[in-house]
Amino acid sequence: MDIQEETRNGVVVLRPAGRIDSGTAAAFEKRVAQTVAAGKVRVVIDMGGVSGVGSAGLRSLLMSSKRAHAGGSRIVLAGLSPAVRREFDTSGFTGLFAMHADVEAALKALG
């Protein structure tokens, strides 16, 4: 899994590409944890390049969010495709994350 990183107005934007599933979830979770551990308190995960999220991917997102919150950081999601959004809806994870239409909306929400 390729994950691009950019900082905009003090907010880290992570852009994973491909699926977040049993084969990639551990690496994804580790990358998010490294970002938060580096003191980045506001993180947007741009899901626009994510083609699907399996149960392991959902778990890694949830664990990343919980760890970030415990450390005083905040993670929000942006740009979910309709298919990925359905995976969140079906699994009941939609209400667990702040989700925004795109990165610009997420950045605005984070201030």
pTM score = 0.94
Q: Please report, rounded to a whole number, the percentage of residues in the chain having pLDDT higher than 90.
A: 92
Q: Residue 41 and residue 25: Cα distance in Å, rounded?
A: 21
pLDDT bucket at 12, cuts 50 / 70 / 90: very high
Give the SS3 label for residue 5. strand
Q: Which CATH architecture has domain 2-110?
A: 2-Layer Sandwich (3.30)
| Domain spans of the chain, in order of start | 2-110
- Give CA torsion, residues 59, 60, 61, 64, to 10 deg: 120
* Closest of 80, 78, 74, 75 to residue 103, by C-alpha: 78
Give 95's DSSP letter: G
As to burial, measured by CB atoms within 10 angstroms (0-12 exposed, 13-18 middle, 19+ buried), residue 73 is buried
Please report the pLDDT score of residue 40 as a whole number. 80
